[in-house]
């Protein structure tokens, strides 16, 4: 289980433009790595749009924003275009990154059990260490939750 102070696991995946992205490419920068269940669902859209609306503030504070979910590149491309998302969305259809970060597991909705992504955000420092883990994400206030670590 990853904890604050742990080295963030490196990964390589395709973004919404089909480009290969590695975590280590962002050494020297702060990274907001947020895991979300699915493109186009209400809460995931609210969360992504909150990050979009506060993207300039996050960027000025030195953050690179990267979203990860199990959908493919084409889904991420449509999601990013429809909502004008200015940040990276990584496709992880085989849950490789999701499992490395320990955010895949059994969930329950209306009594039905299924496997899925736990909405979780990791704030990673310039040296690649986990600075903060947000496991109780508030979709409408997510940027504020991230910026609380600036205090």
Active-site residue numbers? 44
The answer to whether 71 and 93 are in contact (CB under 8 A) is yes
The answer to whether 44 and 69 are in contact (CB under 8 A) is yes
| DSSP conformational letter for 18 | S
The answer to whether 57 and 143 are in contact (CB under 8 A) is yes
The Cα 5–Cα 22 span in angstroms is: 20
Torsion of CA 95, 99, 103, 106, to 10 degrees: 80
Interacting residues of 48 by C-beta distance below 8 A, sequence separation 6+: 36, 67, 79, 83, 85
């Amino acid at each position: 289980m990853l904890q604050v102070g742990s080295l963030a696991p490196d990964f390589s995946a395709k973004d919404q433009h089909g480009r290969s992205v590695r975590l280590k490419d962002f050494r020297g920068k702060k990274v907001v790595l947020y895991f979300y269940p699915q493109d186009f669902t209400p809460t995931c859209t609210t969360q992504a749009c909150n990050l979009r609306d506060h993207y300039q503030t996050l960027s000025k504070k030195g953050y690179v924003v990267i979203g990860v979910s199990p959908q493919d590149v084409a889904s991420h491309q449509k999601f990013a275009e429809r909502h004008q998302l200015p940040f990276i969305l990584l496709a992880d259809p085989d849950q490789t990154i999701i499992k490395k970060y320990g955010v895949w597991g059994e969930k329950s909705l209306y009594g039905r059990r299924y496997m899925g992504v736990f909405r979780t955000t990791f704030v990673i420092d310039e040296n690649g260490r986990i600075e903060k883990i947000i496991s109780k994400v508030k979709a409408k206030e997510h940027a504020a939750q991230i910026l609380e670590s600036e205090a």
